Amino acid sequence: MSNSNLKQILADGAWRQNTGLVVLLGLCPLLAVTNTLINGLALGLATMLTLMVSNLSVSVMRKLLKPEIRIPAFVLIIASVVTVIELLMHAFFYDLFRVLGIFIPLIVTNCAIIGRAEAFASRNNPLASVVDGFATGLGFCITLVALGALRELTGHGTLLSGAAMLVGDWGQYLTLTLIPGHPGFLLAILPPGAFFCLALLIAARNALEANKAPLPKQPVTTPT
């Protein structure tokens, strides 16, 4: 596969067909756990890893799977990957595992992961499938991080709160207080605030795309 095709896959997954901002899939965990940047980053990394491993597995086995069993097989592969990730988080990132709770195993039901397995990995070679999984996961992770950062900053006036859960004890020094004495904005960290913040991110992306679009050519008129 050429470099141009790989770049197109990366651009589509991360931006043009962004799961959270364009396709609008997997919104349940996206809206539920992104009350801080660290929570969003952790779930985004777990989803990205799931996408990459499941896409690779589906691509490798695509010729062995009969059409009538492919969807149950995809779900089984994804569930196996998520179970391993859940056990690893339970062992090495227990505090973060407790915060994310049920939303780690719920990655199995993320329709974006099954969709990429069906629409792309089952029809392409392993390298392209891994790149597609990385790109789609990166786009989802970027959305989670941006949404978590916006909600945390608005709600608490901080960024990277709880980083110790992800990187260890020294992560407590990473917390940034950008608005000292911030009284807190409760709506931003509640589920309704997630909808408002996501709408702002979607609007910002659409505005960027509208500014990049070429202006329509004006018809040339000749004097009579």
Residue 169 falls inside a structural domain: yes
pLDDT digits (tens, 9 = 90+) for 75-87: 999 999 999 999 9
Question: Distances in Å between the alpha carbon of 22 and those of 111, 112, 158, 163?
Answer: 14, 12, 28, 29
Number of domains in the chain: 1
Residue 221 falls inside a structural domain: no
Residue 221's pLDDT is: 59
Residue 75 falls inside a structural domain: yes
Summarize the confidence of residues 24-51 as an average pLDDT: 93
Listed in sequence order, the residues at least 6 apart from 93 whose beta carbon sits closer than 8 Å to its beta carbon are 42, 165, 166
Residue 219 falls inside a structural domain: no
Question: Distances in Å between the alpha carbon of 42 and those of 19, 45, 64, 89, 137?
Answer: 17, 5, 33, 10, 12
Calpha distance 117→78 (Å, rounded): 9
223 vs 12, more confident: 12
Instruction: Give residue 187's domain range.
Output: 3-207
Average pLDDT of the chain, as a whole number? 91
pLDDT at 224 exceeding the cut of 60: no
Residue 208's pLDDT is: 93
Residue 218 falls inside a structural domain: no
Per-residue pLDDT band for 101 (boundaries 50, 70, 90) equals confident
Summarize the confidence of residues 137-157 as an average pLDDT: 96
Contact 219, 65 (CB under 8 A): no
Residue 96 falls inside a structural domain: yes
Output the CA angle 12-13-18, nearest 5 degrees.
Answer: 95
Residue 95 falls inside a structural domain: yes
The residue assigned the tokens 């915060």 is: 99
Calpha distance 59→55 (Å, rounded): 6
Residue 113's pLDDT is: 94
Residue 130 falls inside a structural domain: yes
pLDDT at 191 exceeding the cut of 90: no
Summarize the confidence of residues 189-199 as an average pLDDT: 92
pLDDT at 22 exceeding the cut of 90: yes
